[in-house]
């Protein structure tokens, strides 16, 4: 058992992690360092991971039908599943593949082949989750704005549409990467404020449970302003319920409260931006984020129980708690004995009875067994609540409490707006990863296309859904499925992945790692079963939408409904000459992986100095190889688009290279990367072509066949001084085989530089040779002279090359191709 509960991290790794952690906690807060540190990563994802937690209490109480004790018990069990199940599984996954970027890519990179189908499911459900994130965040932001501007309640859905459009436009115009500072600032402000405000709220709830009298007045004010449409409150004491009803409400509350953990998947998905060592940052961030979610959730539920706050559809329970604290501690306070009911309150209550109660448009409360009140009771209670609402407004006017509520509302509204950014960016990244795998059209490689597509679907659904409580059932299936997929992938991790990390697949470290995955499986599978049972009404829509997305991916990947043979496509891509027109998405993905491999091979040749001898700008190598090996310029480390024509949106290509998202693509990449010698050979070929062109054009200035100096003699001299490090027979054979022709500009832009280099070098190296030729022409030197010319090579060593200045100086070797060529030219 010690092996199961041991650590899969080595002692040396743990020591280095402890040493680096103080620095990693704060790295990246100012957008510096090697990436995002722990707090920077938490702040970046806070908008998505923490904002929905503001509605977790509302949903937990709503699921428990107003019974706070049941909601608290459900949340405690759910928190234990998160902390002791999901967190260890995700930490193990980040240790194996810190840059995987979500459950789908994690399955592709570490799981056995029989589980790869889970990545198709994960991609589809994550994309659906992204759409639902936009819907929830936009509607929630509009709801929160009602705290500051309740008069806009009639335009709530229109505001939600405007918010969704605004964030989409910002991301499309700025680009996902440039929007990171917005997430850091907004997420940091929200996280810090929430810790302070909720700590104050929990303290106030513990010290002053009698402030519960304010709850009804606040809710009545919200209902009168049409901010809250439905209220769900317990119909009686929990002891009056049967065990079956308690169990039903317990699991229903669990299924609803799961929404508060929806953003947890964003942390490992954003791990590619983490500082190094990435696994340390992600591991710590996962722990702190879980503690934040659990701690803030418990404080909200504690305060809701102490102050008897019901579930208010359309308004966060958190804001009601803030308002109570603002009134009593930061405002003038409200004394229940001093509340005066006016005749206007009574008249308003009678009108509300006629308009709302009898018409059943807005019941005062909904519960398991709501009791209908008679008119006098309704008027009496409602008039008192109206008077209390007026007293609350008076107590807040012009006080720090009013400012506190404005800050809370604006921060929550802003963070909910930014949460849309998390949905947009996360969904677009998943779509881009699917496109990289060949499962979606290549246009989705541009993150902006995914963002616009998500917005289009969300914009259609916002007026239909209207309420957060309506969509939470559909939303939960997506991220719980991600929990299931990630945990399963960790438990069934391939042996070769473990061996890459130095872990014996049969050793104690492997058992500890798989046990982390097993705990995640137990927790996530339990969550999924509860969801299926309690939210079964959402299953048909989820299955239909998921199946449609999977079918779309299948059709795109295979270019039709018939499955393509992946190995055949791979060999076709690697052996293709000239332009390749992919027949399906998978073939296009393999071609892209091949291009990435070629591009990385060239970048490594440049970085390791293998191309320094050519004395040419690096971009010329890139243009040459891009043309010769049909490589898209975006795959090079320093892109070579002409000024003003570089496309935008390739966020995932601007980062350091990471492993390909599947084994097949990794094989295509690796086999292309292994063509380094071919790249070097092709570069040398065109380098020689440029120099040979200069020799052919310039040698005619010194040819004098009548005096025994034919073209072969001159060319021999030029080749020897311009190629001192290459054996002469080899370079002579290449030169004689060379036929000058018109090259395309991407090739000749490189060859031209070598031509110019040779043109610059020849005068510096040929002064002795040309002097001898001149003197020979005037009869001042013998024609059988062999000239020794010292030439310094690229590595700094000096070589002496022997230059035959005339045919008369040639050796008696009839088999030498050079000698034969020289004699043949003289005889001709």
CATH code for the domain of 233: 1.20.1740.10
Say yes or no: 54 and 123 in one domain: yes
Q: Tokens standing for 486?
A: 């990630």
Say yes or no: 592 and 728 in one domain: no
Q: Within a domain: residue 282?
A: yes
Are 233 and 366 in contact, with CB atoms under 8 Å apart? yes
Say yes or no: 405 and 495 in one domain: yes
Say yes or no: 697 and 726 in one domain: yes
Q: Which of 526, 551, 576 is the last residue of a domain?
A: 551
Task: Determine whether 313 is exposed, middle or buried from the number of CB atoms within 10 Å of its CB (0-12, 13-18, 19+).
Answer: buried
Q: Within a domain: residue 363?
A: no
Are 516 and 91 in contact, with CB atoms under 8 Å apart? yes
Q: Choose the most confident range, by mean pLDDT, from 121-135, 634-648, 750-764.
A: 750-764
Q: Within a domain: residue 172?
A: yes
Are 713 and 752 in contact, with CB atoms under 8 Å apart? no
Say yes or no: 68 and 186 in one domain: yes
φ, ψ of residue 503 to 5 degrees: the values are -105, 125
Give the confidence band of 653 by pLDDT, cuts at 50, 70, 90. Answer: very low
Say yes or no: 158 and 244 in one domain: yes
Q: Within a domain: residue 503?
A: yes
Burial 726-740 (b: 16+ CB within 10 A, else e): bebeebbebbeebee
Q: What is the mean pLDDT of residues 274-285?
A: 84
Q: What is the mean pLDDT of residues 656-683?
A: 87
The residue length of the chain stands at: 828
Q: Please determine, for residue 530, whether its predicted confidence score (pLDDT) is greater than 80.
A: yes
Listed range (340-344, 351-355, 691-695) with the worst mean pLDDT = 351-355
The residues facing 803 across adjacent strands are 787
Q: Within a domain: residue 346?
A: no
pTM for the full predicted model: 0.77
Say yes or no: 304 and 275 in one domain: yes
Average pLDDT, the chain: 83
What region does 398 belong to: left with phi over 0, alpha with psi -120 to 50, or beta? Answer: left
pLDDT for residue 33: 59
Q: Identify the residue with better confidence: 239 or 34.
A: 239
Quick one: how far is CA 319 from the chain centroid? Answer: 31
Say yes or no: 698 and 822 in one domain: yes
Listed range (374-383, 693-702, 738-747) with the worst mean pLDDT = 374-383
Q: Within a domain: residue 822?
A: yes
Q: Tokens standing for 594?
A: 């091949």
Give the confidence band of 365 by pLDDT, cuts at 50, 70, 90. Answer: very low
Say yes or no: 38 and 184 in one domain: yes
Q: What is the mean pLDDT of residues 542-561?
A: 92
pLDDT for residue 495: 92
Q: Please determine, for residue 51, whether its predicted confidence score (pLDDT) is greater than 80.
A: no
Which range marks the domain in which residue 632 is found?
Answer: 566-674
Q: Which of 674, 690, 712 is the last residue of a domain?
A: 674
Q: Within a domain: residue 245?
A: yes
Find all residues with CB under 8 Å of 401, minimum gap 6, and list them. Answer: 325, 326, 327, 329, 330, 331, 395
Say yes or no: 210 and 172 in one domain: yes
Q: Tokens standing for 139?
A: 């509607």
Q: Within a domain: residue 260?
A: yes
pLDDT for residue 31: 59
pLDDT for residue 654: 43
Domains of the chain: total: 3
Listed range (44-48, 80-84, 801-805) with the worst mean pLDDT = 44-48
Q: What is the mean pLDDT of residues 217-238?
A: 76
pLDDT for residue 708: 85
pLDDT for residue 385: 79
pLDDT for residue 357: 57
Give the confidence band of 486 by pLDDT, cuts at 50, 70, 90. Answer: very high
Q: How far apart are CA 308 and CA 351, in angstroms?
A: 27
Q: How far apart are CA 523 and CA 518, in angstroms?
A: 9
Q: What is the mean pLDDT of residues 595-615?
A: 91
Q: What is the mean pLDDT of residues 435-448?
A: 89
Which helix (H) or strand (E) segment holds residue 342: the answer is none
What region does 559 belong to: left with phi over 0, alpha with psi -120 to 50, or beta? Answer: left
Q: How far apart are CA 804 and CA 590, in angstroms?
A: 53
Q: Cis omega before residue 114 (within 30°)?
A: no
pLDDT for residue 368: 38
Say yes or no: 638 and 780 in one domain: no
Q: What is the mean pLDDT of residues 726-741?
A: 89
Are 322 and 201 in contact, with CB atoms under 8 Å apart? yes
Give the confidence band of 178 by pLDDT, cuts at 50, 70, 90. Answer: confident
Q: Choose the most confident range, by mean pLDDT, from 100-104, 466-470, 597-601, 698-702.
A: 597-601
pLDDT for residue 813: 66
Give the confidence band of 814 by pLDDT, cuts at 50, 70, 90. Answer: low
Which helix (H) or strand (E) segment holds residue 707: the answer is none
Q: What is the mean pLDDT of residues 662-676?
A: 91
Listed range (201-215, 415-429, 431-445) with the worst mean pLDDT = 415-429
Per-residue pLDDT reduced to its tens digit, 234-253: 877 888 889 999 999 999 99
Are 589 and 437 in contact, with CB atoms under 8 Å apart? yes
Q: How large a percentage of the chain has pLDDT more than 90?
A: 28
pLDDT for residue 230: 76
Find all residues with CB under 8 Å of 91, minimum gap 6, and list them. Answer: 282, 283, 286, 287, 516
Say yes or no: 46 and 104 in one domain: yes
pLDDT for residue 222: 76
Q: Please determine, for residue 642, whether its predicted confidence score (pLDDT) is greater than 80.
A: no
Of 201, 189, 144, give the one whose Cα is nearest residue 322: 201
Q: How far apart are CA 26 and CA 131, in angstroms?
A: 32
Q: Which of 519, 551, 583 is the last residue of a domain?
A: 551
pLDDT for residue 641: 46
φ, ψ of residue 530 to 5 degrees: the values are -60, -40
């Amino acid at each position: 058992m010690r092996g199961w509960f041991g650590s899969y991290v080595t002692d040396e790794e743990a020591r280095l992690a402890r040493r680096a952690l103080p620095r990693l906690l704060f790295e990246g807060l100012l957008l510096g360092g090697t990436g995002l540190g722990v707090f920077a990563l938490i702040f970046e994802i806070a908008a998505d991971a923490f904002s929905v937690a503001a509605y977790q209490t509302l949903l937990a109480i709503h699921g428990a039908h107003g019974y706070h004790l049941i909601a608290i018990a459900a949340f405690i069990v759910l928190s234990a599943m998160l902390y002791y199940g999901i967190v260890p599984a995700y930490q193990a996954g980040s240790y194996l593949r810190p840059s995987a970027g979500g459950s789908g890519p994690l399955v592709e990179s570490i799981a056995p082949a029989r589980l790869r189908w889970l990545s198709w499911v994960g991609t589809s459900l994550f994309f659906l989750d992204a759409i639902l994130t936009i819907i929830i965040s936009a509607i929630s932001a509009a709801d929160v704005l009602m705290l500051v501007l309740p008069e806009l309640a009639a335009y709530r859905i229109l505001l939600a549409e405007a918010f969704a459009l605004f964030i989409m436009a910002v991301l499309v115009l700025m680009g996902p990467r440039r929007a990171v500072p917005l997430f850091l600032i907004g997420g940091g402000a929200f996280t810090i404020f929430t810790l302070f405000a909720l700590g104050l709220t929990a303290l106030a709830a513990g010290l002053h449970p009698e402030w519960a009298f304010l709850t009804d007045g606040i809710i009545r004010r919200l209902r009168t302003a049409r901010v809250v449409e439905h209220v769900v409150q317990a119909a009686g004491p929990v002891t009056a319920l049967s065990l079956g009803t308690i169990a039903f409400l317990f699991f229903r509350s669990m299924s609803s409260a799961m929404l508060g953990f929806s953003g947890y998947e964003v942390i490992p998905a954003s791990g590619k931006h983490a500082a190094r060592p990435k696994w340390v940052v992600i591991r710590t961030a996962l722990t702190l984020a879980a503690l934040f979610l659990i701690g803030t959730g418990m404080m909200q539920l504690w305060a809701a129980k102490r102050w008897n706050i019901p579930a208010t559809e359309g308004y966060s329970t958190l804001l009601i708690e803030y308002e109570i604290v603002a009134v009593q501690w930061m405002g003038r306070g409200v004394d229940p004995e001093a509340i005066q009911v006016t005749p206007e309150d009574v008249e308003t209550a009678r009108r509300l009875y006629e308009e709302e109660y009898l018409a059943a448009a807005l019941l005062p409360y909904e519960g398991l067994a709501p009791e209908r009140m008679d008119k006098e009771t309704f008027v009496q209670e409602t008039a008192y609540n109206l008077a209390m609402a007026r007293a609350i407004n008076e107590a807040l006017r012009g006080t720090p409490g009013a400012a506190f509520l404005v800050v809370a509302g604006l921060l929550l509204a802003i963070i909910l707006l930014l949460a849309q950014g998390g949905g947009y960016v996360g969904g677009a990244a998943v779509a881009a990863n699917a496109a990289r795998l060949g499962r979606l059209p290549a246009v989705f490689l541009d993150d902006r296309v995914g963002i616009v597509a998500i917005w289009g679907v969300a914009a259609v659904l916002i007026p239909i859904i209207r309420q957060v409580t309506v969509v939470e059932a559909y939303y939960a299936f997506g991220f719980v499925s991600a929990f299931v997929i990630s945990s399963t992938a960790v438990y069934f991790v391939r042996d070769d992945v473990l061996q890459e990390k130095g872990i014996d697949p049969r050793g104690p470290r492997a058992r500890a790692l798989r046990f982390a995955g097993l705990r995640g499986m137990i927790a996530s599978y339990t969550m999924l079963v509860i969801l299926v049972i309690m939210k079964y009404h959402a299953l048909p829509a989820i299955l239909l939408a998921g199946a449609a997305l999977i079918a779309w991916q299948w059709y795109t990947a295979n270019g039709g409904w018939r499955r393509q043979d992946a190995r055949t496509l791979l060999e076709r891509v690697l052996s293709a000459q000239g332009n390749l027109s992919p027949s399906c998405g998978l073939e296009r993905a393999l071609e892209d992986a091949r291009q990435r491999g070629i591009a990385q091979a060239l970048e490594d040749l440049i970085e390791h100095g293998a191309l320094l001898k050519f004395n040419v700008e690096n971009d010329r190598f890139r243009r040459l190889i891009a043309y010769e090996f049909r490589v898209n310029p975006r795959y090079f480390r320093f892109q070579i688009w002409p000024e003003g024509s570089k496309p935008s949106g390739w966020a995932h290509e601007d980062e350091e290279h990471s492993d390909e998202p599947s084994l097949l693509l990794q094989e295509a990449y690796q086999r292309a990367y292994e063509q380094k010698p071919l790249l070097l050979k092709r570069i040398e070929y065109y380098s020689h072509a440029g120099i040979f062109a200069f020799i052919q054009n310039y040698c005619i200035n010194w040819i004098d066949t009548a005096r025994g100096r034919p073209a072969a003699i001159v060319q021999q001299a030029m080749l020897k001084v311009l190629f001192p490090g290459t054996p002469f027979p080899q370079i002579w054979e290449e030169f004689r085989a060379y036929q000058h022709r018109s090259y395309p500009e991407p090739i000749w832009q490189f060859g031209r530089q070598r031509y110019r280099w040779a043109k610059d070098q020849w005068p510096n190296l040929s002064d002795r040779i040309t002097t001898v030729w001149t003197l020979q022409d005037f009869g001042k030197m013998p024609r059988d002279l062999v000239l020794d010319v010292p030439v310094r090579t690229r590595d700094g060593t000096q070589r002496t090359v022997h230059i035959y200045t005339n045919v008369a100086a040639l050796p008696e070797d009839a088999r030498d191709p050079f000698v034969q060529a020289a004699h043949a030219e003289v005889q001709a």
